[in-house]
Amino acid sequence: MAYKSVLLEVTDGVATVTLNRPDKLNAFTTPMAGDLIAILRTVGENPDVRCVLLTGAGRAFSAGQDLSDPAMAFGEDGQGPDIGLVVDGCYNALVRTIRGLDKPVVAAVGGVAAGAGANLALACDIVVAGRSARFIQAFVKIGLVPDAGGTYLLPRLVGRARAFGMALLGDAVNGEQAEAWGLIWKCVDDEALIDEARALARSLAAGPTGAYAAAKRALDASAANTLDRQLDLERDLQQARGKSADYREGVAAFTEKRPPRFSGR
């Protein structure tokens, strides 16, 4: 199936998914969000894909919701749009899809990531950004509240004070600051961004995919779990990992002093 505003390329176990409306800084229209959801679901089911790399074409990751999208327009009667429908159908669905993927998702953020664009990047498992990247909770500038999981993720990533600062002021946080604050995993030189992100994605694609999926599930569950319930969850996940081909291979490789060849099973 051909997608217009999102590109997909699968190589070496990595699905590179590129937001592709560079003239609009990869701002999301409803059809574009639909394309991205469909692509993520497709790669989720493709056993040849063991890691997803999400990035943007041109000088942005994404400027968030396309403000010229008809779904955003006020009606002739002066009534505001039902933004809740867009949030539910596009951004909530996207964040749920990314969090539900049982393979790692890496975001490579070059340039601006604003509004829902910023929060979609932050919803990925590992975020690498160029030094001149700009993370902007732009919502407040147009009288909206952070969405796409922002109000959940921000305080957990950077703490309450910085989350409030970002959400209420809408100032840009650059790549270096984002790394220093723990908003993202790593900041790299702009020119090195895509190569570094690809290398990371390739190495994850050669790793123990099931262990990554289990870690993702446990880390996500930890925010709402008691320590007791989390310990039980870890036991159950580890029990399953103990019976996996990758655990067998990992231990064999360690014993034989050779690099492991993980199959992802």
| Contact positions vs ligand T3D (CB under 6 A) | 24-25, 27, 63-68, 72, 83, 86-87, 112, 114-116, 136, 138-139, 141-142, 144, 147
Nearer to ligand T3D among residue 23 and residue 45 (C-beta) = 23
Nearer to ligand T3D among residue 115 and residue 210 (C-beta) = 115
Nearer to ligand T3D among residue 175 and residue 250 (C-beta) = 175
Alpha-carbon span 127 to 185, nearest angstrom = 5
What is the four-CA torsion angle of 256, 258, 261, 265, rounded to 10 degrees? 40
CB atoms within 10 A of CB 137: 27
Burial of 93 (0-12, 13-18, 19+ CB in 10 A): middle
Question: Residue 191 Cβ, how far from ligand T3D at the closest point, in Å?
Answer: 19
CA distances from 14 to 4, 10, 40, 58, 96 (A): 20, 6, 12, 21, 20
Question: Residue 25 Cβ, how far from ligand T3D at the closest point, in Å?
Answer: 4
CA distances from 208 to 28, 85, 164, 176, 252 (A): 33, 38, 37, 30, 14
Question: Residue 61 Cβ, how far from ligand T3D at the closest point, in Å?
Answer: 10
Question: Residue 146 Cβ, how far from ligand T3D at the closest point, in Å?
Answer: 9
Nearer to ligand T3D among residue 30 and residue 225 (C-beta) = 30
Nearer to ligand T3D among residue 61 and residue 262 (C-beta) = 61
Contact between 12 and 48 under an 8 Å Cβ cutoff? The reply is: no
Question: Residue 137 Cβ, how far from ligand T3D at the closest point, in Å?
Answer: 9
